[in-house]
Amino acid sequence: MSTSNLLPLLIENQYLNLVPMKIIPNPSTRNYDPNAKCDYHIGVIGHLTKKCKQLKEKIENLIKDGILSLELMECWKSALPQIRLLLGS
């Protein structure tokens, strides 16, 4: 389970909203992938949802601020392995 699978759960439970990308991705940058799109950034082309740094940071902050609890994530058992991966613990 990756952040791309976690995203619908977070949206559904109103922990975060989809955000438009503020800066249009530059196709000449090294990380730009013309075949990838990000659901968090409302389908913007250039990176995959699971590789979205802003989404990852957002989830980490929700956990750090105590908004998203580990107890809740316990309920999302199927998501847990990836959440641990995300947190690097």
The rounded distance, in Å, linking the Cα atoms of 45 and 78 is 28
Of residues 52 and 68, the one with the C-beta less far from Zn ion: 52
List C-alpha distances in Å: 50 to 4, 56, 62, 66: 5, 8, 17, 23
Residue 3 in contact with residue 82, Cβ under 8 Å?
Answer: yes
In the list 52, 79, 83, 86, the residue contacting Zn ion (rule: CB under 5 A) is 52
Q: Which is nearer to Zn ion, 40 or 79 (CB)?
A: 40
**40 contributes a contact to Zn ion by CB under 5 A:** yes
Q: Is 38 in the site for Zn ion (CB under 5 A)?
A: yes
6: contact with Zn ion by CB under 5 A: no
